[in-house]
Amino acid sequence: MSEHWLLGKRVPRPDAIPKVTGEAVYTDDITFPGMLYGAVVRSPYACASIRSVDTSRAEQLPGVRAILTPTNSSLFSTEILYAGQKVAALAATDPHTAQEAASLIQVEYQRHRAVFDPIRAMSRDAPVVRPSRSQEFNNVCSHQRKERGDLETGFAQADIIVENTYRVGIAHQAYMEPHACVARFDVSGKLTVWTSIQGQFNVRASLASMLGMPVHDVRVIAPEIGGAFGGKTSLIMEPIAVVLAKITGAPVKIVMSRQEEFIDAHPGPGCIIHVKTAARQDGTLTAEWAEIIYDTGAAPGAPTGNFDRTRGLYRIPNFRYDIYSVYTHKLIPGAYRAPGALELTFAFESQIDHLAGELGQDPIEFRLKNAVDEGDLTVDGKVYPTIGLRESLHQAREQIKAVEHKPHRGIGVACGKWMNAIGASGVILTLNEDGSVNLTSGAVDLTGVNTVLAQIVAEELSISLDQIHVQTRDTDVAPYAALSGGSRTTYGMSLATQNAVRQLKKDLFEFASQHMPVSPEAFTVADGKVVPRDGSHTGIPIRELARIAMYSARGPLTVTGSASDPSWLADSYIFITQVAEVEVDPDTGEITVLRVSSFQDVGFALNPMLVEGQIEGGIVQGLGWGYLEGLVFDKGVVLNENLTEYKIPTALDAPELVPVLIEIPSADGPYGIKGVGEPSMVVTPAVLANAIHDATGIRLTETPLVQDDLSTRQGPLGNM
C-alpha cells in the first residue's frame, strides 16, 4: 500500500491533547445551575412481588423533589425478576441527599421460588421466569439450529471423538467510566440528553418513542466516552432521568455507582457448551455436535445471532449446533466486544487442541490440515473469499519455533474469526475559506475513528493533517450514524468519508476548470493544489479555490457522504491466530502469562498505532475474562460488585504483547480495511487454556481458569 502518503502512518490522536490536560468533557463533568441528582432503589431479591412501597420518610427529607415508584410510574414493575432490578427512583438537590432518601424508601416484598442455573431452568418443573418458546423445555428464550451433512455418518467415519463441557462465566466490560446521563427540558418542551453512550441516534429514537415525541424534539449529545466495549449500547438510566426532569422541571443527572454497574448493567453472558468433535487418525475432521446454552437472565440479551460470524474455521463435513438462550432469575446480559465469539472460541478451540493432542499431532499442523480456504463454505453456506487464516497460522508457527522450552512453562495456540459490520454512516465535509476542512460526524469516537477520518481527508486532498478538523457532533447537527459497535465504525465512516471527499474533489475540479483551460476529468490534486495531470498548468491551491468559490456564484464547497449496507455485516472476514506463553507455579498453581502474540488479518492498517492499541487492549480484556474475571452469585445476588473483588488485569498482570498485523485487503472495504475493534479478544481465553494444558497437562474447561486447580506437584495428601 505504498501509494499512500498518510494512510498507514502512526499518527497520534488529536483528541489525546484535551484528554491529557484534563480539559476533555465527559458526561459526569457536565453540571447546570439547579441541577438535581437521581438515585435508584433496587431489589435485594431475585424473584419477588412488591407488596408495598412506603416513601413517606424519604418525602420528608429536605431536598427531595420527586419520587417514582411502581404506583406512579410505568418505568417500574411490581414483579421482580432479578436482584438489582430497579424498584423506585428519586431526584434530590445533591447526590448525598439522593442516596440518603433512597435508603429511606421501605419496600415490602413477597418472595418466590427462583432459578439461577440455565440447565436447571430448562427442566419442566423449574420456576417460570418468562413463557418458554419451546414445547420441550421451560424458560427457552430462543433456539436455533445450524446443520450440514449427516452426523451419524460423520461420527462413524471417525477414529477418535473428544467430548467436553465448557463453562464461561459472566464477565463485565468494566469500562472505567460508569454510565452517566443528564436530562433537561427547555421551556419550549424540547428535551436534551447528555449521555455516555455508543450511539446517539439510538438513544434519540428510543426516548422519542417512549415519550411520544418527534425525534427532532429530542436532542442527544454524547460527550467524550470513558470506554464502552459493547456495554453502552442500550438505555439504562436515561428514561429515569428524563421522567424525573419532566416532573421536576429541573435538569437531572444520574451517575451509576460501580456497584450498580456490576449488578444492573449488561455484561457478557454466561454460557455452557457441550461439544463432541470427531476426526480420523490422519487428522481429518469428520463431524462436530454441540449444544450451546446461554444464560440470558431475566430478559432477552444473550448474543445468540453471531454463530456464523465467529465459527467456520475448519472444513467439517457433518455438523449440528443447537443454540439456546435460557431465562434465569439473574441480571440481563448484553454485548461485550465481539458478542458471542469469545465463549464459542474458547470451547471449540479447546476441542481442536484436545483432538490434536490425542492424535499426537502438532496443533498448528492439525489446524492447517483442516483450515478453510477461499471457495470453502461458512457455517451458513456463504462462500469464503481470499482469507488470512493460513497466513496467520504460518506466522504463528515461526513465532513458536523461536520460543525456548523451560520447565513449568507452556505454549498454546488458538485461532478465531470475526466479521465487521458497516451500519448507516453519514458525514458532512466543508471546505473553509482558508483551505482547511471540517468533517462533521455523528459517530461516537471510541477507537480513534476521528483520527483516521482526518487522515483519509488529508490523504485524498493532499493537504496537511493539521488542516482537517473532525468532530463528533450531536443529533441536532450531525448526519445519522449507527452506533459505534460491531467493529463497524472506522469501516462504515471511512466509506462515507471516502464518498464525501471524492465528491468534494469532483466539485473542486469542476470549479477549477472554470479557472484553468482544462476539463474537470483531467485534474488531480498534489501538494494541496488542483493540477492538470498532464502538467499543462501549474495549478491552483485548494485554499485559493475555496476562497474564490465562497465569494463567487458557486458558493461554499460543502458535500455530504453516506454509506450503509442492508445486510449489516460486511463481506470482510477477519482471522486471527494467537500464541500464548505461560508459566504455572507447580506448588500454588499460580498462572503467569509471559507473552501473547497475535497474528491478525487487519486488511490494511490505516493507522498501525491505533490498530495495535485495539489489539493490545483486546488481548488483555480477553486475558481478564480468561483467568481473572467472572461474576460470583449467591441466590442471584452478585457478591463481587466492586473492583477489589472483581479483578480486572492491572499493569502487573498484563504480559508482553506482540501484535503482528497481516494485511490481506478486504474486497469492498475502504482502502482494503477490515474491522479491528472487537476481534482481538475473541481468541485469548482459548489460547490461554491451551497454553496451561501444555504447561501442566491439565485441561481447564471453565472460566475463570482458576489457579488452585493447577498445582501439579505431589504433596503429602496426593495431588494438591
Partner 1 sequence: MDAKRWIQLTVNGEEHEVYVEPRRRLLDVLREDLGLTGTKEGCGTGDCGACTVILDGRLVNACLVFAISANGKSVETVEGLATDHLHPIQEAFIQHGGLQCGICTPGFLMSAKHLLNSNPNPTLDEVRFGLAGNLCRCTGYTKIYEAVLAAAKNMREET
All three cell numbers of 9, joined, read: 502512518
Cell numbers 494438591: residue: 720
- Among residues 4, 26, 568, 668, the one that binds partner 1 under rule CB under 8 A: 26
Please name the amino acid found at residue 532.
Answer: P
- Among residues 1, 5, 29, 57, the one that binds partner 1 under rule CB under 8 A: 29
Distance CA 314, CA 284 (A): 10
Please name the amino acid found at residue 216.
Answer: H
Which residue, 31 or 281, is less far from partner 1 as judged by CB?
Answer: 31
Distance CA 489, CA 230 (A): 13
Strands 425-431 and 656-662: unpaired
Which residue, 601 or 629, is less far from partner 1 as judged by CB?
Answer: 629
Considering the complex, what minimum distance in angstroms separates the CB of residue 478 from partner 1?
20
Contact between residue 638 and residue 614 where contact means Cβ atoms under 8 Å apart? no
Is the link from the previous residue into 267 a cis peptide, with omega within 30 of 0?
no
Is the link from the previous residue into 333 a cis peptide, with omega within 30 of 0?
no
- 654-693: which residues touch partner 1 (CB under 8 A)? 654, 656-657
Which residue, 283 or 448, is less far from partner 1 as judged by CB?
Answer: 448
Which residue, 377 or 639, is less far from partner 1 as judged by CB?
Answer: 639
Which residue, 519 or 642, is less far from partner 1 as judged by CB?
Answer: 642
The reply on whether position 553 binds partner 1 by CB under 8 A is no
All three cell numbers of 639, joined, read: 457478591
Considering the complex, what minimum distance in angstroms separates the CB of residue 29 from partner 1?
4
Considering the complex, what minimum distance in angstroms separates the CB of residue 76 from partner 1?
25
Considering the complex, what minimum distance in angstroms separates the CB of residue 460 from partner 1?
24
- 229-288: which residues touch partner 1 (CB under 8 A)? 229, 255, 257-258
Classify the phi-psi angles of 281: left when phi > 0, otherwise alpha if psi is within -120 to 50, otherwise beta. alpha
- Among residues 1, 25, 128, 477, the one that binds partner 1 under rule CB under 8 A: 25
Strands 285-297 and 318-327: parallel
Distance CA 312, CA 573 (A): 11
Determine the interface stretch with partner 1 among 209-217, 541-549, 612-620, 693-701 (rule: CB under 8 A).
612-620
Site map (CB under 8 A) of partner 1, residues 212-231, x = contact: ------------xxxxxx--
- 137-176: which residues touch partner 1 (CB under 8 A)? 173-176
Enclosing H/E stretch for 100:
helix 95-104
Determine the interface stretch with partner 1 among 22-30, 400-408, 488-496, 524-532 (rule: CB under 8 A).
22-30
Which residue, 553 or 652, is less far from partner 1 as judged by CB?
Answer: 652
- Among residues 1, 12, 153, 519, the one that binds partner 1 under rule CB under 8 A: 12
Considering the complex, what minimum distance in angstroms separates the CB of residue 482 from partner 1?
20
Distance CA 117, CA 115 (A): 6
Considering the complex, what minimum distance in angstroms separates the CB of residue 567 from partner 1?
29
Please name the amino acid found at residue 681.
Answer: M
**Catalytic residue of the set 288, 459, 460, 678:** 678
Contact between residue 703 and residue 167 where contact means Cβ atoms under 8 Å apart? yes
- 423-482: which residues touch partner 1 (CB under 8 A)? 446-448
The reply on whether position 42 binds partner 1 by CB under 8 A is no
The reply on whether position 486 binds partner 1 by CB under 8 A is no
The reply on whether position 353 binds partner 1 by CB under 8 A is no
The reply on whether position 640 binds partner 1 by CB under 8 A is no
Nearest Cα to 202, choosing from 238, 178, 177, 174?
238
Nearest Cα to 691, choosing from 274, 396, 492, 337?
396
Q: How many CB atoms lie within 10 A of CB 639?
A: 11
The reply on whether position 33 binds partner 1 by CB under 8 A is no
678 in catalytic set: yes
CA distances from 281 to 26, 161, 360, 391 (A): 58, 11, 10, 25
The reply on whether position 327 binds partner 1 by CB under 8 A is no
The reply on whether position 719 binds partner 1 by CB under 8 A is no
Buried b (16+ CB within 10 A) or exposed e, 85-99: bbbbbbbbbebebbe
Write the secondary structure of 195-228 as one string of H (helix), E (strand) and C (coil): ECCCCHHHHHHHHHHHHCCCHHHEEEECCECCCC
Considering the complex, what minimum distance in angstroms separates the CB of residue 624 from partner 1?
9
* Catalytic site positions: 678
Binding residues for partner 1 (CB under 8 A): 10, 12-13, 15-17, 19-26, 28-29, 31, 96, 173-178, 224-229, 255, 257-258, 446-448, 609-610, 612-613, 616-621, 642-644, 648-652, 654, 656-657
